[in-house]
Structure formats: C-alpha cells, structure tokens
Structure 1
C-alpha cells in the first residue's frame, strides 16, 4: 500500500514535475478512487497542490481533479477560496461544467459578503 494519496496518484498517473517512482504494487484506478473517496480534505488538497500546482498542468485526469474538488467541497462547504479554485478548474475543462463553475463563484461571493 502507498503511504500517501500523493504517492498513489503519482504511481498511477505519473507526475509532470517528478519521475514516477519504482513501485511493485498493482495499480488499478478503482483502488485509487476508493482511497480518494475516503481521504480527508487536507490530504486531497495536498495531492492537488503537489501534482497540479497550476490550474492547467499535471497528469491527473480531468475527472479525477473534478472529483477531488467535489470531495473537498463536501468536507469544507463554506470556504470561498476552495470554491473559486474548483470553479477555475471546471472552467478550464468546460464548457459542460460552466454553469456549475458559475454557481460556485456566486456562492463564494455570497460567503465573502457575509463576513
């Protein structure tokens, strides 16, 4: 088993910034998705920052990035910064997701105005 979500993602998908480590484990995407599904928000955010430090980079599949942001927002629903980061990622990979991204932006604006 991998020690971190980052290690698992790096072994499965590779890393644009670091070499893929030698690993003798069996890599199946559904094992990673299970680990991602039950990971805490900070572990997911750390993985996104490490493997995709800019919005338009990294080797994580778009659907994994979208799922990761969704899981983080479920755990931290009232953080405008995270909403905007998720929206930015969705806009980049739209236009199918533009309505959701716009809604995230509006919700973030409402939360900011309430402070």
Structure 2
C-alpha cells in the first residue's frame, strides 16, 4: 500500500528527481486513477509540485497533470493562483489546450478584479 498519492504516482511513473521506492505493490494505472479521482486538493497539489516542480519536467503523463489540475480547480474554484498555475501547465503542453488556458487566465483576472473591488481598490 502506498502512503500517499505522490508515492503511488512515483511508483507508477517514476521520478526524475529521486529514486523510485521498492514497494511490492501491483502497479496498474487504473488503481492510481481511482485514487487520483477521489484525492483532496492538497494531495493533488503535493503530487504535482513534488513530481513536476518546474512544470516542464517530471515523468507524470500530461493527461494525468491535466486531470489533477482539473480536480484541484473543481475543489477550489475561486483561487486565481491555482487557475494561473493550471493555465501555465496547459500552455506548456498545448496548443490543443490554449483556449482553455486563456479562459482560466481570464477567470483568474476576473476573480482578482472582484477581490480588489470588494477591498475598495
């Protein structure tokens, strides 16, 4: 059994920055996707930031990164910094996702503008 989503991802996909633990678990992608699907935002972000700290690197497949960011944004829909982080990931792995990245950036800008308006600035 893996102790975290990050450890499970590391065992399945490898880690560009550290050793892959020998865990003895059966590594099937569908088990990982089940865990990913129901993970909380903190676990998803920990996995993304540990295994892909510079966004352009790491061994996580692009589709896993996209799904993880989508799940984070569903759990934290009003956080502009996360919207921009997800958009940056999409731009780096586009151009298929450029329109979605632009929409996320626009949503982040709108959230920031609304927060500024509420503060009176």
* TM-score strictly above 0.5: yes
* 1:70 alignment counterpart: 70
* 1:104 alignment counterpart: 104
Determine the C-alpha separation between the residues in 2 that align with 1:79 and 1:104.
11
Counterpart check, 1:53 vs 2:53? yes
Q: Which runs of 5+ in 1 are unaligned?
A: none
Superposed displacement of residue 101, structure 1: 0.3
Q: Which runs of 5+ in 2 are unaligned?
A: 116-121
Determine the C-alpha separation between the residues in 1 that align with 2:82 and 2:97.
16
Superposed displacement of residue 55, structure 1: 1.4
Determine the C-alpha separation between the residues in 2 that align with 1:42 and 1:22.
25
Determine the C-alpha separation between the residues in 2 that align with 1:71 and 1:32.
14
**Pairs aligned (count):** 115
Q: CA RMSD in A?
A: 0.5
Determine the C-alpha separation between the residues in 2 that align with 1:81 and 1:33.
25
**Bigger Rg, which one:** 2
Determine the C-alpha separation between the residues in 1 that align with 2:47 and 2:93.
19
Runs in 1 of length 4+ with deviation above 4 angstroms?
none
Alignment of structure 1 residues 4-83 onto 2, 5 Å: 4-83=4-83
TM-score by length of 2: 0.94
Superposed displacement of residue 23, structure 1: 1.9
* 2:118 alignment counterpart: none
